[in-house]
Amino acid sequence: MQSIDINCDMGESTKLWPYAVESDLALLQFVSSINIACGAHAGDAATMQLLLIAAAKNNIACGAHPSFEDKENFGRTNHTLPPAHLYEMVTKQIKQLQTVAANCQATVTHVKPHGALYNMAAKDYLLSQAIAQAVKDAGIQKLYGLSGSQLIKAADELGLQAVSEVFADRTYQPDGSLTPRTAPNALIEEEGNALQQVLQMIQQHTVTATYGTVVAIKADTVCIHSDGKHALQFAKMLHQTLQQQQVIITAPTK
C-alpha cells in the first residue's frame, strides 16, 4: 500500500497578524508530523512546549522549523549569509527547540527550513550543505526539503534521511520548482484541484506544472498550511480522501 506523511508548519506566533494556538491544536488530528517555529521568524517557548506536548500525546512527529532571523518579514525575505553564519543560525534554532523538548520529554525528529531559507536552499547547494551539516551535528537524521531540490541532494550526500516534500496548494513550474508567491497563479485555492494534485503526486509520481507540462516528482510528505481561511476544512478533506484511496498516513520512517 502507498503511504504519505502530512506535515504542517505550526507555532508561528507573530505580531504581524492574529495567531491562535487553538487553530494549530485542532489540526493535529489530521497530520502525522509538524514543524515548529523556533523564534527567528515567529514562535516562542511557551507555544513550542504546548505543541510538543500535544503532538507527543497524539504520536505526531515534531520537527524544527528554522528560518532567517527576520520577524518583521515573517522569514520571507532573502538574505545572503556566509555558510558558517548560516550553520550557526540554524544550529541555534534547532537547539532552542531541543531544549524545550527535553524539558517536556518530547523528541525533535526532523528539520524543515522555513520561507526564504527553504526556497533559497532549494536552488543553492552551498546553503543546503550548511543546513544539512547543522542538522546532522544536532543529532537529527531527517531533513525535509523540496522534492528534487539541492537540499535533498545535500541531505543524501551527508547520509541523512532526505524527505522529499510536495505541496497541495502551490503550483509548480516546468523545472519542478514552486511558482513564486509573487506570481498571480502561485496558489491553488480550489480545494478539489488541490486534492487532485496531491493524489496525482502520490499515485502517479508526477505533477502537472504551469502550461500543462507533466513533471516527474517524488512525494514522501505533503505540506498543508495552518494559516489559511479554510485550513482545518482542507486538512480534514485531505485526510479523508487519502484514507478513501487506501493511502496510509504516517510520519517518515526508514
The per-residue pLDDT for range 113-167, each reduced to its tens digit, is 999 999 999 999 999 999 999 999 999 999 999 999 999 999 999 999 999 999 9
Residue-averaged pLDDT of the chain: 96
Q: Would you place residue 32 in the very low, low, confident or very high pLDDT band (cuts 50, 70, 90)? A: very high
Q: Report the C-alpha gap between 80 and 68 in whole angstroms.
A: 10
Q: Would you place residue 182 in the very low, low, confident or very high pLDDT band (cuts 50, 70, 90)? A: confident
Q: What is the pLDDT of residue 229?
A: 76
The per-residue pLDDT for range 196-212, each reduced to its tens digit, is 999 999 999 999 999 89
**pLDDT, average across residues 47-59:** 97
Q: Report the C-alpha gap between 74 and 96 in whole angstroms.
A: 18
27 within 8 A of 54, measured Cβ to Cβ: no
Q: What percent of the chain has pLDDT over 90?
A: 94
Q: Is the pLDDT of residue 27 over 90?
A: yes
Q: What is the pLDDT of residue 156?
A: 98
Instruction: Name the amino acid, one letter, at 80.
Output: T
Q: Would you place residue 192 in the very low, low, confident or very high pLDDT band (cuts 50, 70, 90)? A: very high
Domains of the chain (ranges plus CATH)? 3-249 (3.20.20.370)
Q: How many CB atoms lie within 10 A of CB 247?
A: 17
Q: Is the pLDDT of residue 87 over 80?
A: yes
Q: Is the pLDDT of residue 254 over 90?
A: no
The DSSP code sequence of 103-122 is: HTT--EEEE---HHHHHHHH
Predicted TM-score (pTM) of this structure: 0.96
Beta strands in 87-225 (DSSP E): 108-111, 142-146, 161-167, 206-208, 214-216, 221-225
Cell readout for 119 is 526556497
